[in-house]
Amino acid sequence: MSVWDLDFQRGWRLGLLFGVLLLGAAGGLFAGALMVPPGILTFVLGLLSLLALGGLGVVAYWLAHSVRAEYGLDRNGLEIRWGGYVERIPLPAIVAVETEVPLRWVRGVRWPGLCFGWARDAQGRPVRCYATDLAEALVVRTAERAYALTPAQRAEFLEGLQQRLEMGPTQDFAPGYTHPAFLDWAFWRDRLALGLVLAGALFSLGLSGLLFVVYPLLPATLTVREATAHSTALVQAAWQLFRLPAGGALVWALHLLVGGWLYRRERTASLLLWAVALAFVLTLWGAVIALVLKAV
């Protein structure tokens, strides 16, 4: 099978630039959160820093897949490889190859030099994109689907495809589509599991936000427990309240990891772990609200 590469130089340069900018933004925002007095601005800067790191992860994921992007071609079929995504198209199934097709981007991942996802042609028909530039893409059509491709050696690829179509196949070439295995996890279709995990994450994040909002209103010290005949009063610095959301986030993360490991073997145990983590975070909410109301 002959292999045809894509010209990812532009896409890689911009992707690396995006990564550097996102990493710098995450570091700058986190440093800013440490420098300002504790308050809502601290929370916002920290949250934006986390989002920047998430964006960095997305860019890195697609750059990693593009490293292994290529088109394989022989007399029997065309194999499109984009990292963990693979399309297999029998050559007899190809009904047309169009070299000048105006495409309108619909969804997926796209920046100059990288286009992975879906577009539509002038007639509104969907086109699956494994390309670097929609303006330069050639469209390979079968009866069921169309594919936008951008081989670096465009003329040679078209010539080789035409020659192989004229020669005809020598054996069967099974059509198919594969993608990274994690996309098939049952977890993504389990609404209860998703709900528990997302609720735990949102309540953990929300507890931190609540504390940062009310922190400027709190006195320097808080009375956690009043003095009684048998014990002295328990007083702590207001900043120590942040141990509660930190502990809640740690418990949620640990339960998430253990539950994720167990999920395929024992779904019920995973759901119980995530429910316990959510209950623990909600208990912390009650404790924080009670202490804040008592202090203000």
Domain boundaries, the chain: 6-67, 70-182, 185-295
Confidence of residue 70 (pLDDT cuts 50, 70, 90): very high
pLDDT reported for residue 101: 86
pLDDT digits (tens, 9 = 90+) for 37-63: 888 999 999 999 999 999 999 999 999
pLDDT reported for residue 223: 64
pLDDT reported for residue 224: 62
* 191-214 helix and 243-262 helix, angle to the nearest 10 degrees: 170
pLDDT averaged over every residue in the chain: 88
pLDDT reported for residue 289: 85
pLDDT reported for residue 171: 86
How many whole angstroms separate alpha carbon 231 and alpha carbon 227? 6
pLDDT digits (tens, 9 = 90+) for 208-228: 998 888 888 877 776 665 555
Q: Distance of CA 2 to CAs 72, 75, 77, 118, 193, Å?
A: 6, 10, 11, 26, 45
Confidence of residue 185 (pLDDT cuts 50, 70, 90): confident
Q: DSSP secondary-structure letter at 113?
A: T
pLDDT reported for residue 236: 67
pLDDT digits (tens, 9 = 90+) for 100-158: 889 999 999 999 999 999 999 988 999 999 999 998 899 999 988 999 999 988 889 99
